[in-house]
């Protein structure tokens, strides 16, 4: 189960990176990723890592 959670977290990380490269607005990125994060029910530790990236997304987007 930990491997599956890690895989989902990596996929969400990559989705965020792709959306940043495509210049999607940061509010839209937050909304989409949090919705997907809620639906996939990944573990707490992996969820915290993705949430930390979402919280710091303002530093990634100009």
- According to the 3-state scheme, what is the secondary structure of the chain? CHHHHHHHHHHHHHHHHHHHHCCCCHHHHHHHHHHHHHHHCCCHHHHHHHHHHHHCHHHHCC
Q: Are 26 and 57 in contact (CB under 8 A)?
A: yes
Say what the pLDDT of residue 1 is: 80
Query: Where do the domains of the chain lie?
Result: 2-60
pLDDT digits (tens, 9 = 90+) for 38-53: 998 898 989 999 999 9
Q: Which residue has the higher pLDDT, 27 or 61?
A: 27
- Give the Cα separation of 28 and 49 in Å (integer): 19
pLDDT-based confidence at 31, cuts 50/70/90? very high
Q: Using an 8 Å Cβ cutoff, are 41 and 28 in contact?
A: no
pLDDT at residue 60 tops 80: no
> For the whole prediction, is pTM greater than 0.75?
yes
């Amino acid at each position: 189960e930990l491997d599956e959670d890690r895989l989902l977290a990596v996929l969400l990380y990559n989705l965020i990176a792709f959306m940043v490269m495509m210049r999607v607005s940061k509010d839209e990125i937050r909304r989409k990723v949090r919705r997907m994060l809620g639906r996939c029910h990944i573990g707490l530790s992996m969820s915290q890592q993705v949430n930390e990236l979402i919280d710091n997304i303002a530093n990634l987007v100009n």
